[in-house]
């Protein structure tokens, strides 16, 4: 029976969603689970039997919160679930693990994301430039972070989620570092996770962190010639995207400037072999 360490992340602000998500994990069949609920600036309480709690004194950010839970759970595989996500199929984890076992070239799996109430899912949940059908599976170069599965050994080699980011784009770095291990990141359109459709800009610092982390992502992970190309491409994209929203653009360029002035943390550039593999698979890391 596959063993899975599950890290559920929460700030304690969505108790009903949190309960739904944890119950969906405990309902998984054909796997042996070890589950911890990490409270980012909150001490989890009232958890179901068998779920341990880790309360962090302050909100360390989404990546750091996930990382803190990893040493506390055992299992050959790691599954990360945000508190506003849930898994509708009790066979999900076993099916996802069987996908990884059937194709050892896959190092990380993200399922298709749907709103449980039937609201149409935003296209951004499909992590491809050419979106295609949401049910179409294939290799990708970023992930929606709310529900991801990967072997523990692969995760440890990535150095974990990018803690300095706090929020935004940590799923891109994790995906790139899986590719840098000679593996692929897989979007499984045949597997499903639930998440409500919520506006990204609900976060007060969305525009600033989006820009800062985009610059940091390049500075931390790309070979030097690709850094200005990647940042330049995304600067042009965002300038066009928010041309009619000067308030958003000011916040975005404030984060952009911060990204160049501040320390992004340790640099670990992708190998040129990885860049070539990613390009052959459909995405040169410039956009």
Q: What is the CATH number of the domain that holds 38?
A: 3.90.550.10
Half-sphere exposure of 218 (CA within 13 A, CB side): 24
Q: For the segment 39-97, what is each residue's pLDDT rounded down to a tens digit? A: 999 999 999 999 999 999 999 999 999 999 999 999 999 999 999 999 999 999 999 99
| CA-angle at 8, arms to 7 and 9, nearest 5° | 115
Instruction: Please report the pLDDT score of residue 32 as a whole number.
Output: 98
Name the domain count of the chain: 2
Instruction: Please report the pLDDT score of residue 198 as a whole number.
Output: 79
Provide the domain limits for residue 123: 3-198
Give SS3 for 250. helix
207 plus 103 within the same structural domain:
no
Q: For the segment 12-32, what is each residue's pLDDT rounded down to a tens digit? A: 999 999 999 999 999 999 999
How far apart CA 60 and CA 162 sit, in angstroms, is 12
φ and ψ at residue 283, rounded to 5 degrees: -150, 100
Instruction: Please report the pLDDT score of residue 199 as a whole number.
Output: 72
48 plus 181 within the same structural domain:
yes
Whether 113 is covered by a domain: the verdict is: yes
Last residue of a domain, one of 166, 198, 230: 198
30 plus 170 within the same structural domain:
yes
137 plus 258 within the same structural domain:
no
């Amino acid at each position: 029976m596959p063993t899975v360490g599950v890290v559920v992340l929460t700030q304690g602000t969505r108790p009903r969603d949190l309960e739904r998500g944890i119950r969906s994990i405990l309902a998984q069949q054909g796997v042996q689970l070890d589950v911890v609920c990490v409270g980012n600036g909150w001490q989890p309480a009232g958890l179901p039997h068998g779920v341990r709690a880790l309360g962090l004194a302050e909100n360390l950010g989404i990546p750091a919160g996930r990382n803190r839970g990893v040493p506390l759970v055992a299992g050959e595989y790691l599954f990360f679930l945000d508190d506003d996500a849930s898994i509708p199929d009790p066979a999900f984890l076993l099916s996802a693990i069987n996908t990884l076992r059937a194709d050892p070239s896959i190092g990380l799996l993200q399922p298709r994301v749907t709103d449980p109430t039937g609201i149409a899912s935003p296209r951004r949940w499909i992590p491809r430039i050419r979106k295609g059908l949401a049910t179409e599976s294939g290799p990708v170069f970023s992930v929606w972070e709310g529900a991801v599965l990967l072997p523990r050994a692969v995760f440890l080699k990535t150095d974990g989620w990018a803690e300095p980011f706090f929020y935004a784009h940590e799923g891109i770095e994790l995906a790139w570092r899986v590719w840098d291990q000679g593996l692929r990141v897989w979007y499984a359109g045949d597997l499903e996770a639930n998440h409500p459709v919520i506006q990204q800009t609900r976060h007060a610092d969305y525009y600033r962190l989006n820009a800062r982390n985009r610059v940091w992502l390049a500075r931390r992970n790309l070979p030097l010639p690709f850094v200005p190309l990647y940042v330049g491409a995304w600067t042009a994209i965002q300038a066009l995207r928010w041309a009619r929203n000067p308030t958003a653009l000011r916040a975005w360029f404030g984060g952009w400037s911060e990204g160049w002035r501040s320390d992004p943390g340790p640099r670990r550039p992708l190998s040129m072999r990885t860049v070539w593999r990613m390009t052959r698979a459909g995405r040169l890391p410039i956009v």
